[in-house]
Copies of this chain bind each other. A is one copy, B any other.
Amino acid sequence: MRNEISIGLLGLGTVGSGVATILQQHQEDLRHKLGVQVAIKKVLIKDTTKERLSPLDSSIFTTDIEEVINDPSLDIIVEVMGGMKGAKQAIENALRAGKQVVTANKDVMAEHGHELLKLADEKKCDLFYEASVAGGIPIIRTLEDGLASDRIAGLMGIVNGTTNFILTKMKQENMSYEEALVKATELGFAEADPSSDVDGWDAARKMVILSSLAFSTEVRLEDVLVRGMKEIQAGDLQIAEGFGYTIKMVGSSNKDEDGIEVAVEPILLPNLHPLASVNNEFNAVYIHGEAVGETMLYGPGAGSLPTATSVVSDIIAACRNLLLEVNGKRLHAAQHDLVIKEDKSCFAKYLHRLLVNDQVGVLTQLTAIYSKHGASLQSVMQHPAENEDQAELVLLTHRISREQHLKVIKDIKSMASVISHYRIEGESAT
């Protein structure tokens, strides 16, 4: 019986230092849980001159990645270096060297997850990636084990803390998008270049990972419909509120007999929906299981210690498997071929906000467009526009296909301006 498990840590940034801190502080708990010592024995760093607050002794630092991956004394490789190419290669090499691997890398798992999980199965090694989605929320584990017995019909996630923080400030403190972004940057919730967050690609990568797991298939980034939060125009939040809805950047993924539909976009959620009250930088994933009904997991989506908590939970799982000699027994082969639904099979209600010339017959012309495409309307509201000769119209449709929605929007553009348009999820109480 071994009495120690040795870890190689790739990266000692925000998450890496968190992992080192938690492993050190919890030595006693870990020994109680596992019966062995768990110790970091080698650490890949980039810059040897940097001052570090980590509890680790610098004698175990190296700048040579091979020295970590090929060290035969190491049992588990923890990849928290980030980035794409080097990290992917590192995970691949570690698996080929027969190491158990834990990663927090959403970019790698979204683009190469299927391939790497297959390699892990082949090499009979564990590849855990809980921290790659929604930092401190144990969502991967819940989909794999907690709801293992259920068939997931759909899931919706607020999986990007930056955009959720910005939207919360815009709604609760009436800030403009620009003001809220500055605030998010000041507080460290937004990166210097926030485009991956605000354009929806960060959330889309997470939805690739979650959807693949939830539906046991191989979703790819190009399958996700992505609309960024810049689609949200001044006044939209107030208009939504007037109908009893909250605008949130939501990743959604649904499955029915026609296939799977994955999207990341600003949508209208009824105020009473559990996701509507997820505010600030918090994340949440709402799951609709056929048997269990509605469940939701809520928590911090990022941050050094929350993310490190997920990494260390994965390390503990890998340790347990090592001690029982059952690593790599959780086969990842997809059960279903991927079928992405066509626009004509994706149904929802929509809100269309338009600017029209305020003249006789315009409403007739407009509603004729909806009729032409078989899209029936639930309500039409007119507001005065800034320019006296114009009027603002807010139209709510009944359930129509995305194809109908897009055709209507295209035709409307020939006679009016489309200020904004949103998919509506569920019914508001108003």
- Which residues in A have some Cβ–Cβ distance to B below 8 Å? 18, 22, 26, 29, 32-33, 130, 136-138, 141-142, 145-151, 216, 272, 274, 277, 279, 282, 289, 291-300, 303, 305-306, 308-313, 315-317, 320, 324, 326, 329, 335
A sample of 25 inter-chain contacts (CB < 8 A) reads A22-B150, A26-B149, A136-B289, A138-B146, A141-B141, A145-B317, A148-B312, A148-B313, A149-B311, A149-B312, A149-B313, A277-B277, A289-B309, A291-B306, A291-B309, A292-B299, A292-B309, A293-B300, A293-B303, A293-B305, A294-B300, A295-B298, A295-B299, A296-B297, A298-B298
Contact A298 B326 (CB under 8 A): no
A88 to B382, CA, bound (A): 66
Contact B324 A298 (CB under 8 A): no
Contact B149 A138 (CB under 8 A): no
A317 to B141, CA, bound (A): 12
**Copies, count:** 2
Indicate whether A145 sits within 8 Å of B293 (C-beta atoms), given known contacts A29-B151, A298-B298.
Answer: no
Residue in contact with A300 in the complex, picked from B295, B297, B326, CB distance below 8 Å: B295
Residue in contact with A149 in the complex, picked from B277, B294, B316, B320, CB distance below 8 Å: B316
Known: A282-B294, A298-B298, A324-B326. 16 other contacts (CB 8 A): A26-B149, A32-B216, A33-B148, A136-B295, A142-B142, A142-B146, A146-B313, A148-B313, A148-B317, A149-B310, A149-B316, A150-B309, A150-B313, A293-B306, A295-B300, A297-B298
A110 to B149, CA, bound (A): 25
Q: Which residues of B contact A324 (CB under 8 A)?
A: 324, 326, 329
A283 to B22, CA, bound (A): 30
A292 to B130, CA, bound (A): 13
A295 to B316, CA, bound (A): 20
Q: Which 4 A-B pairs have the closest CB atoms?
A: A138-B146, A149-B312, A295-B299, A291-B305
Closest-by-CB residue of B relative to A279 is B272
A175 to B88, CA, bound (A): 59
Q: Which residues of B contact A274 (CB under 8 A)?
A: 277, 298
Contact A291 B313 (CB under 8 A): no
Contact A294 B299 (CB under 8 A): yes
From residue A49, how far is it (CB to closest CB) to chain B in Å? 29
Q: Which residues of B contact A295 (CB under 8 A)?
A: 136-137, 297-300
From residue A130, how far is it (CB to closest CB) to chain B in Å? 8
Contact B305 A29 (CB under 8 A): no
From residue A291, how far is it (CB to closest CB) to chain B in Å? 4
Q: Which residues of B contact A151 (CB under 8 A)?
A: 26, 29
From residue A18, how far is it (CB to closest CB) to chain B in Å? 8
